[in-house]
Amino acid sequence: MSTDFTGKVAVITGGSRGIGAAVARRLAAGGARVFVVCRNGMVEAEALSATLGHAAQAMAADISVPADCDRLIGDCVRITGRLDILVNAAGLGHYRPLEKADPDHYEAIFGTNVRGMLCLTRAAAEVMETGGRIVHFSSRLAETPLSGSSVYAASKAAVSTMVLALSQELGPRGITINAVAPGLIETDMTADVLKARRAEIEISTPLRRIGQTGDISGVVAFLASDDAAWITGRTIRADGGLL
């Protein structure tokens, strides 16, 4: 697989931690100039950027705010003159049972996971040239939701549907748009779940281990590469083979 991103400019939202940080490292290792974007974790984003080279830079944005999406992409293009890759790893994953799934919960989840995805895509597509790559994050829960995950799972199903629909609009311009749907990945956000259920999860996963951030960043790097030029509108499940 070609992992040469020399001369490419990549914006990675949710880039200060977890999967987003792993993606930032992967693309930077291939030569990309990376913008590490976060909503709150600027200290972490700046520390990560300092290790990446290629003039990597931390930026703050709340993707649930449309104006922030426009500003983020606009600032990137003003600084570098281009945008080649957008990886949107920002998202909210709070679960609530039906009796607590009030409108505020819905607005928070859909505001970031769906409206943010749409506004980022629109802003990026306006400045991308032929060969642009857009990668969003869905979830295996979009297909196999758990109790209490109704709003979150629905938001990720919306991401997959929008990726497919938007590929029809962006394809004639040579821009690909895809999604990755991870299973449970070992990060600081899943530490409590893994502490309580690691053995159970490992035995229920055909590959008999817990997914790592590198398992997902490799898929993203592929979708962002020239090797994936014939793939668009797809959601790739990366969950160790869970049914």
- Least confident stretch, 25-34, 76-85, 103-112, 188-197: 188-197
**Length reported for the chain:** 243
**Quick check: is 136 in a domain?**
yes
**Quick check: is 199 in a domain?**
no
Tell me which H or E stretch contains 55. none
Q: Is the pLDDT of residue 134 over 80?
A: yes
Query: Can you tell me the distance from the alpha carbon of 124 to that of 141, in angstroms, rounded to the nearest whole number?
Result: 27
**Quick check: is 208 in a domain?**
no
Q: Is the pLDDT of residue 166 over 80?
A: yes
At residue 150, the pLDDT reads 97
DSSP code at position 36: E
3-state helix, strand, coil in the chain (%, to 5): 50, 15, 35
**Quick check: is 28 in a domain?**
yes
Query: Which CATH number goes with the domain that contains 107?
Result: 3.40.50.720
Contact 39, 61 (CB under 8 A): yes
For 196-205, letters b (16+ CB in 10 Å) and e give: eeeeebeeeb
At residue 2, the pLDDT reads 62
Q: Band of the pLDDT at 17, cuts 50, 70, 90?
A: very high
Where are any strands of DSSP class E within the chain? 9-13, 33-38, 57-60, 85-88, 133-137, 176-182, 235-238
How many structural domains does the chain have?
1
Q: Is the pLDDT of residue 172 over 80?
A: yes
**Quick check: is 2 in a domain?**
no
Contact 91, 112 (CB under 8 A): yes
Provide the annotated active-site residues.
152
Q: What is the mean pLDDT of residues 178-197?
A: 92
**Quick check: is 191 in a domain?**
no
Give tens-digit pLDDT for 213-243: 999 999 999 999 999 999 999 999 999 998 7
Give tens-digit pLDDT for 24-56: 999 999 999 999 999 999 999 999 999 999 999
DSSP H helical ranges for 81-149: 103-110, 116-127
Q: What is the mean pLDDT of residues 119-143?
A: 96
Share of the chain above pLDDT 90, in %: 94
Contact 213, 16 (CB under 8 A): no
74 CB-contact burial (10 Å; exposed 0-12 / middle 13-18 / buried 19+): middle
Q: Which domain holds residue 164?
A: 9-186+213-236
**Quick check: is 143 in a domain?**
yes
Q: Which residue has the tokens 């957008």?
A: 86
Phi, psi of 180 (to 5 degrees): -115, 135
**Quick check: is 197 in a domain?**
no
Q: Band of the pLDDT at 3, cuts 50, 70, 90?
A: confident
Taking all residues of the chain, what is their mean pLDDT, rounded to a whole number?
A: 96
Q: Is the pLDDT of residue 1 over 60?
A: no
Task: Report the relative pairing of strands 235-238 and 85-88 from DSSP bridges.
Answer: unpaired
